[in-house]
A and B are shown apart, each in its own frame.
Chain A
Amino acid sequence: GAVVSQHPSRVICKSGTSVKIECRSLDFQATTMFWYRQFPKQSLMLMATSNEGSKATYEQGVEKDKFLINHASLTLSTLTVTSAHPEDSSFYICSAPGGPWETQYFGPGTRLLVL
């Protein structure tokens, strides 16, 4: 099946700093990618849809100025958490549709801890 990678797998940062997370489709092109956030023992909550070459579409309640998304190529989307705070600590997962049925393939996730 299609492979999606994420980097870094885990990151610890100080409050007020920014963190960039990369999501790559390794063996297929993705004009659309999705970013999810998952708090402990909770479900995956869709944050935004990343669109190659155009602006991301954010879900209601997600601050676009805080969670910057860039989809500059057909294989790479980045999520930047700006001015991170402890409440932003979470598991961030990206996904991309691939294959003939556009099945969603998930990256391995990035665990963010903001101190």
Chain B
Amino acid sequence: GENVEQHPSTLSVQEGDSAVIKCTYSDSASNYFPWYKQELGKRPQLIIDIRSNVGEKKDQRIAVTLNKTAKHFSLHITETQPEDSAVYFCAASTSGATNKLIFGTGTLLAVQP
């Protein structure tokens, strides 16, 4: 089955700096890669996703890149703000109605004001 690895487990940056979180996946059939932000005690919130037919997607300060050949994808947050502090999870799945998500181990991002 699919296995998703995520690095780093913790990341501390200064406000205004950029943050990068990287994930690798094992199943070449996976074609959907969402990123979730989870605040303490809350549900995961989708912040951006990418499908395998594109290599990059951007939404304001957030961008995701995908390298299908190497089976890795990354989250880039620019101009970080204290409210970006949370746990971020990457995930992978195949598209379709039974698209179960396999999550990475998570990255605790701390943005220091």
Task: Using CB atoms and an 8 Å cutoff, list the residues of chain A in contact with chain B.
Answer: 31-32, 34, 42-46, 49, 60, 91, 93, 95, 97, 102-109, 111
Task: Using CB atoms and an 8 Å cutoff, list the residues of chain B in contact with chain A.
Answer: 1, 34, 41-46, 49, 89, 95-106
Task: Name the A residues within 8 Å of B96 (CB-CB).
Answer: 102
Question: Could you jot down 5 A-B contacts, CB within 8 Å?
Answer: A34-B101, A103-B34, A106-B44, A106-B45, A111-B41
Task: Assess the A43–B106 pair: CB atoms within 8 A.
Answer: yes
Task: Name the A residues within 8 Å of B105 (CB-CB).
Answer: 42-43
Task: Assess the B98–A32 pair: CB atoms within 8 A.
Answer: yes
Known: A42-B106, A46-B102. A102 touches B95 (CB 8 A): yes
Task: Name the B residues within 8 Å of A103 (CB-CB).
Answer: 34, 46, 49
Known: A43-B103, A43-B104, A46-B102. A102 touches B97 (CB 8 A): yes
The closest CB in chain A to the CB of B95 belongs to A102
Task: Name the B residues within 8 Å of A105 (CB-CB).
Answer: 46
